[in-house]
Amino acid sequence: MYAKSKTVALKNTAVNGGFWADRQKLNREVTIHSVYDRFKDTGRFDAFKLDWKEGDPNQPHIFWDSDIAKWMESAAYIIEKNPSADLEKIIDEVVDLIEKNRWDDGYFNICYTLFQPDDRFTARYDHELYCAGHLMEAAVAYYNATGKDKFLRIMCDYADMIEKAFVTEKWAEFETPGHEEIELALVKLWKTTGEKRYLELSRHFVDIRGTENDTYTQAHMPVREQEDAVGHSVRAVYLYCAMADLAAAYGDETLFNAADKLFDSMAKKRMYITGGIGQTCVGEAFLGDYDLPETSSYCETCADIGLILFAQRMYAIKPDRKYADIAELALYNGFLCGLSLDGKAFFYDNSIEVDLTGINNPHDNRHRPFYPITQRLEVFSCSCCPPNVTRLIASAGELACSANEDTLWLHQFIDGKFEDGGKKIKLETAYPDDGAMKITCSGDFRLALRLPSWCRSYTLSKDAQVSDDGYIYLDVTDGEVICYTLDMPVRFVQANRKVRQCAGRLAVQRGPIVYCAEGVDNPLPLRGLYVDPKAPAALGKDSILGLTTVELDGFMQKENDELYFDYDEELIPQKIKLIPYYAYANRGETDMLIWLTKK
């Protein structure tokens, strides 16, 4: 086998306590229902009846199949751990509608069936294959959760039909999917059914890229030659997921190396400190290396989800903390920011800095390419992110571990139980709020513990060295308890000197958590605050948010009536309170800043 390990699948995980159990409870009790209600309100569920007609409200949109598919996939993950007849009923009803309204040849798509039945597979950008892919993922998840195979069979029929249209009969009028997703979905379909044709169809869609002269959809060159992460960021990371899947399935080292280069392109040159990717709203796309605009950062939540899923695939294939570190960074910052603390509202784009004065200025004449939303919303007209958030939270346990015959890798420090064959661990931790972990092992095996690159010191109850891949390998015996504690002091972080936006600025991190200053806690303008990296930092607790805060003995530049004046080194002492970035905008609309001015 080419891949060093395989992800420990959801069924072999149990997230029972700690940070993620809380989030999954909120997801299960609030978020999944809130998203359902909004999708019901907006006609997305009813659209599957295919009875919309001119003049009716809620005209179906080309993305809607995928919105509901991701909701169903989320619900399936929830059902798998917490059976729910209500959620199952909703999914069954949708599946019945799909069965009823699909074409004889297996095709299903709401908008094409309603509006353009003669134009199937003629328009690359119309998301048919993207919607199909999400439905397939949902079908796989629902089969795994319930054992019911109707949805899976329907989607196999659809995959067979797609194979005909694009490979056997070749009547489709384009070759390269215009929004990647089907590729990774087909790999899941193969893994679940054992039908190799689906894996091969995925490879077909990935290998055929390179003929479209279109960087937006990553179709500008063969994937093995791509070195820079370009174009629409969600499309990109979904493709990279499929590249990793295919590299593992076929033992294709060239493909893995290409995926690795693309990973580095993002992680080392085109990613915000939050793990956010896609620097511009124009095409929801990547920009060039080290170009990370702040008040117009885009960082779509879905792109971070894709980045996490891509990194997860990479660290299973080749355990290396470089992948897991980035997955962790994106998970606890860019991704989590996408959801409000009450579990009901979402960011589509995630700002790196909020400057309300600029956003609200009546004279600014819309001169910026983009104005970020500053408050989370319950639903969007293009509402891809909300059900993507619910599915990642519901399946977060899968991020934790991968395994091969003799080794279990612990990549993400998620409180829970994880097992692969005879290798089991029970991880108890308050991570990421605290770096202490108690790991109870069952079975004799090799345990690999990630040592995050942000960690400068740690204690481990057993002697062991850090390997070059950034993991600590331990031989554990049945019943052994390992105590592993990562020290989590407040750290000041700077950016590469090539990032022009961050010169002379520092960000504050503790463990994997990136902190930010909010206007509700600090005097404005936030950029007028100065931090001294040599001054002590204290931890606190926010009484409303209930989160660990960082309190700095900082400074504020003096007020002045003049616009420009001779430099005056005197600053006013000013306490600065920072909260986790992911928790910003939970106390009203306010300014927010991650990159603080260095004293």
Query: Which residues in 184-213 contact a copy of itself (CB under 8 A)?
Result: none
Closest distance of CB 598 from a copy of itself, Å: 6
Based on CB atoms, which residue is closest to a copy of itself, 10 or 303? 303
State both tokens at 155.
């989607």
Of 355, 398, 415, 469, the residue at the interface with a copy of itself (CB under 8 A) is 355
From residue 487, give the alpha-carbon distance in Å to each of 326, 401, 458.
19, 22, 5
Q: Which residues are catalytic?
A: 284, 384
Q: Is 46 in the site for a copy of itself (CB under 8 A)?
A: no
Based on CB atoms, which residue is closest to a copy of itself, 43 or 222? 222
Contact code string over 287-316 relative to a copy of itself, x by CB under 8 A: xxxxx-x--x--------------------
Applying the rule CB under 8 A, the residues between 479 and 508 that interact with a copy of itself are 491-500, 503-507
CB 425 within 8 A of CB 447: yes
Q: Is 394 in the site for a copy of itself (CB under 8 A)?
A: no
Return the ∠ at Cα 462 (arms to 458 and 465), rounded to 5°. 65
Q: Is 361 in the site for a copy of itself (CB under 8 A)?
A: yes
Stretch that binds a copy of itself, among 40-48, 55-63, 143-151, 556-564 (CB under 8 A): 556-564
Applying the rule CB under 8 A, the residues between 262 and 291 that interact with a copy of itself are 267-269, 271, 273, 279-283, 285-291
Sheet holding 6-7, edge to edge: 6-7, 401-403, 407-410, 445-450, 471-476
Of 150, 191, 368, 446, the residue at the interface with a copy of itself (CB under 8 A) is 368
Q: Is 574 in the site for a copy of itself (CB under 8 A)?
A: no
Closest distance of CB 193 from a copy of itself, Å: 39
- Strands 592-593, 513-518: pairing kind: antiparallel
Based on CB atoms, which residue is closest to a copy of itself, 47 or 514? 514
Based on CB atoms, which residue is closest to a copy of itself, 147 or 567? 567
The one-letter code for the residue type at 593 is: L
Of 32, 156, 230, 384, the residue at the interface with a copy of itself (CB under 8 A) is 230
Q: Is 354 in the site for a copy of itself (CB under 8 A)?
A: no
The string of DSSP letters for 64-118 reads HHHHHHHHHHHHHHHHHHS--HHHHHHHHHHHHHHHHHS-TTS---HHHHHH-GG
Closest distance of CB 341 from a copy of itself, Å: 26
Q: Read off φ and ψ for residue 559, nearest 5 degrees.
A: -75, 150
Closest distance of CB 262 from a copy of itself, Å: 13
Interface with a copy of itself (CB under 8 A), residue total 71
Q: Is 399 in the site for a copy of itself (CB under 8 A)?
A: no
**What's the rounded Cα separation, in Å, for the pair 445 and 440?**
12
Closest distance of CB 513 from a copy of itself, Å: 14
Stretch that binds a copy of itself, among 96-104, 233-241, 363-371, 466-474 (CB under 8 A): 363-371
From residue 143, give the alpha-carbon distance in Å to each of 48, 148, 399, 438, 531.
20, 5, 20, 34, 53
Applying the rule CB under 8 A, the residues between 504 and 523 that interact with a copy of itself are 504-507
Closest distance of CB 226 from a copy of itself, Å: 12
Of 17, 43, 222, 533, the residue at the interface with a copy of itself (CB under 8 A) is 533
Q: Is 536 in the site for a copy of itself (CB under 8 A)?
A: no
**What's the rounded Cα separation, in Å, for the pair 87 and 309?**
25
Kindly compute the dihedral angle of the four CA atoms of residues 206, 210, 212, 215, in this order, to the nearest 10 degrees: 90
Q: Is 356 in the site for a copy of itself (CB under 8 A)?
A: no
CB 504 within 8 A of CB 597: yes
State both tokens at 299.
């960082």
Range 51-59, long-range pairs (CB < 8 A, 24+ positions) = 52/114
Q: Which of 2, 1, 3 is nearest to 312 (CA)?
A: 3
Q: Is 363 in the site for a copy of itself (CB under 8 A)?
A: yes
Q: Is 535 in the site for a copy of itself (CB under 8 A)?
A: no
CB 108 within 8 A of CB 69: no
State both tokens at 559.
């007020």
Based on CB atoms, which residue is closest to a copy of itself, 43 or 533? 533
**What's the rounded Cα separation, in Å, for the pair 415 and 426?**
8
Closest distance of CB 339 from a copy of itself, Å: 24
Based on CB atoms, which residue is closest to a copy of itself, 290 or 458? 290
